[in-house]
């Protein structure tokens, strides 16, 4: 676990993803958080867990083409997209009535939120022109909130070395028998952890 005072977790994740990809590592971000899709490149993928309501969907892996298929915009346009449609999880209000398709169409035509705001008098459908203009200030603030800072100064990345025996001992001591049984099912033997990864 990495924690840095006054730095958002998403910025830390994004910064590690960018730094590790720069060193030619393949990176998987495991999250359903939409704003992390802006980190996706040919070396950084998102693994999205199945929705709770429909576990049959299974895990989904997003590469750049997958981001376009899912959101209708390129990874680098995700902050602009979320600024327009909003993100309820992060408490970001979008423009009322602007849905994913409308936002994707505008970004396809004008490239960025700035381009949309510069062309507000040409927006289609016409009914959104006044709404977007009225929310201009909010949209600019939204963009600051949805754009990750992937240039955070980070501690060196360390490989995680699981300690199943320590976990078993702790669960035994705490008399957490159900969790102990589950842990032993997940970590059946030492061989899994004695293998060195390159």
Give tens-digit pLDDT for 133-162: 999 999 999 999 999 999 999 998 777 777
Q: Is the pTM of this model over 0.85?
A: no
* pLDDT tens-place string over residues 74-107: 999 999 999 999 998 889 999 999 999 999 999 9
Res. 196 pLDDT band, cuts 50 70 90: very low
Tell how many helices (H) and how many strands (E) occur in the chain: 10, 5
Tokens 């999205």 map to which residue? Answer: 48
Report the pLDDT averaged over residues 113-122.
97
Report the pLDDT averaged over residues 163-173.
91
Let me know: does 82 contact 93? Beta carbons within 8 Å: no
Range of weakest confidence among 26-30, 54-58, 80-84, 104-108: 54-58
Higher pLDDT, 2 or 152: 152
**Domains of the chain (ranges, CATH numbers):** 9-146 (1.10.150.20), 164-194 (no CATH)
Report the pLDDT averaged over residues 171-179.
91
Q: What is the DSSP string of 2-14?
A: ---TT--HHHHHH
First to last CA, the chain: 21
Confidence (pLDDT) at 188: 77
* Residue 174: Cβ-neighbour burial (10 angstroms; 0-12, 13-18, 19+): exposed
């Amino acid at each position: 676990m990495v924690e840095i005072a006054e730095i958002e977790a998403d910025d830390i994740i994004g910064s590690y993803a960018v730094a590790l990809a720069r060193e030619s590592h393949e990176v998987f971000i495991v999250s359903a958080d939409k704003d992390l899709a802006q980190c996706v490149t040919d070396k950084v993928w998102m693994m999205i867990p199945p929705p709770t309501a429909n576990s049959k969907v299974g895990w989904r892996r997003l590469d750049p083409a997958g981001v376009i298929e899912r959101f209708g915009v390129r990874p680098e346009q995700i902050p602009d997209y979320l600024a327009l449609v909003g993100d309820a999880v992060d408490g970001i209000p979008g423009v009322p009535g602007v849905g994913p398709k409308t936002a994707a169409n505008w970004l396809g035509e004008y490239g960025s939120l700035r381009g949309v705001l510069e062309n507000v008098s040409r927006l289609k459908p016409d009914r959104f022109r006044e709404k977007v203009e009225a929310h201009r200030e909010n949209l600019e603030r939204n963009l600051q909130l949805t754009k990750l800072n992937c240039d955070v100064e980070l501690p060196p990345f360390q490989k995680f070395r699981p300690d199943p025996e320590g976990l078993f001992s702790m669960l035994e001591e705490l008399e957490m028998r159900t969790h102990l049984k589950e842990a032993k099912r997940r970590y059946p033997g030492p061989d899994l952890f004695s293998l060195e990864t390159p």
